[in-house]
């Protein structure tokens, strides 16, 4: 009976160690340096093409006044080293996250790499969401769209006249 309890403790300890080791290997730790944290907080998500690939672990100010954002990325996500990391709004409430614009380099980000974190893009409306809305408004009301609509209307009118004749 004592032997069974002893073996059970060993099995539980081994399983715990295996889980601990396997969880630790599933992350790539990188540091993103920025001039301004832009409202970013720990536990903020890092996304690539709408898929969460990591989390912000720690934010600190270095002795040189640079904001160092320590991040944990899923190690199975291979990200080119020339990818662009940008602070963005993740929702209408202003929650910040990091968005990754996929690069073209054949060199992949490795554990311990230090990269640049770009600030949130601002516009007349004040933030990245505002910049996107402004872009949509420009596209919707832009002269280019009006000209395209006029050309299409003329083409439709010509086709209608041909079918009436």
Q: What is the pLDDT of residues 22-57, one digit of tens each?
A: 555 578 999 999 999 988 999 999 999 989 999 999
Q: Per DSSP, what are the bridge partners of residue 46?
A: 54, 98
More confident residue, 85 or 128: 85
Q: How would residue 153 be classed by pLDDT, with cut points 50, 70 and 90?
A: confident
Q: What is the pLDDT of residues 67-114, one digit of tens each?
A: 999 999 998 889 999 999 999 988 878 789 999 999 999 999 999 999
d(CA 113, CA 6): 44
Q: Quick one: pLDDT at residue 18?
A: 64
Dihedrals phi, psi of 29, to nearest 5 degrees: -95, 125
pLDDT value of position 10: 79
Of 92, 84, 99, 98, give the one whose Cα is nearest residue 41: 98
Confidence tier at 65 by pLDDT (50, 70, 90): very high
12 pLDDT band (50/70/90 cuts)?
confident
Residue with tokens 């980000």: 109
Q: Residue 87 in 3-state DSSP?
A: strand
């Amino acid at each position: 009976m004592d032997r069974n309890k002893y073996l059970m403790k060993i099995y539980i300890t081994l399983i715990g160690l295996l889980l601990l080791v396997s969880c630790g290997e599933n992350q790539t730790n990188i540091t993103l340096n920025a001039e301004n944290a832009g409202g970013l907080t720990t536990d903020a998500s890092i996304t690539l093409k709408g898929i969460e690939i990591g989390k912000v672990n720690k934010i600190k100010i270095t002795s040189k006044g640079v904001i160092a954002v320590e991040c944990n990325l899923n190690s199975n996500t291979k990200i080119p080293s020339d990818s662009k990391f940008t602070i963005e709004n993740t929702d209408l409430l202003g929650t910040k996250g990091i968005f990754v614009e996929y690069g073209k380099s054949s060199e992949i980000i490795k554990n311990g790499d230090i990269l640049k974190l770009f600030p949130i893009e601002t516009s007349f409306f004040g933030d990245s969401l505002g910049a996107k809305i402004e872009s949509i408004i420009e596209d919707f009301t832009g002269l280019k769209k009006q000209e395209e609509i006029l050309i299409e209307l003329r083409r439709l009118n010509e086709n209608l006249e041909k079918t009436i004749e």
